[in-house]
Amino acid sequence: MARRQTVPPVFVPLEQEVSCAGYRCIAGLDEAGRGPLAGPVVAAAVILPVESRIPGLQDSKRLTARQRDSVYDHIQHQALAYGIGMATHTDIDQHNILRATQAAMLSAVRQCALQPDMLLIDGNVALPTSIAQRLIIRGDACCASIAAASILAKVTRDRLMLAYAQEYPLYGFERHKGYPTPEHYARLRTHGPCPIHRRTFRGVLAQSPAAGRAGHA
């Protein structure tokens, strides 16, 4: 019986296509953390060489944590520039998740050492900026720079949530990273929300009879 092999993704050469249209500094953008009940939303912007070939690069959701860490290092070494932006749980509660995500993405663009003249954005929501942009549904599965951004954002956020797991050990953040899992709901019902929970999210409101506890051990 033949061994199953992971087939690397075939990225549509969007960066080459956009480059041929006259754009010279093309950034892929993606985020991690729109759906969780706790913690920040993190965005990344990545500018890759047009002919870049990064080992193992694909949609971050198809990689294990160890694989993401490895590809993360390759991206940082090969990218022409990259930036990380973040919106906290407080930002999310004050402005809503959509606006907070847009703010995180714009911050990621500003953090790039090179100023992009075209943004390739995963999803269907444009950014309020004068920089040219192209929205790509499931862009992390078909565009190299967006896939790279998805990995930087995911790894950065996961590491933040591991740190929060040490600060708030009652919630199991090291396992679910703040996402709405059965374990997370059970911890919320038992302990109420901790300071990094998103108080405006329905899942937090519905599962938090003990609201107001800090959650520290």
CA distances 31 to 3, 17, 64, 126, 169, Å, are: 34, 23, 18, 13, 25
Task: Extract the annotated binding site for a divalent metal cation.
Answer: 30-31, 122
Expressed in angstroms, the distance from the first to the final Cα of the chain is: 51
Instruction: Name the CA radius of gyration of the chain, rounded.
Output: 18
Which of these, 123, 77, 133, 86, lies nearest to 107 by C-alpha position? 86
Residues flagged as binding site: 30-31, 122
Rounded-to-10 torsion of CA 141, 142, 145, 147 = 10
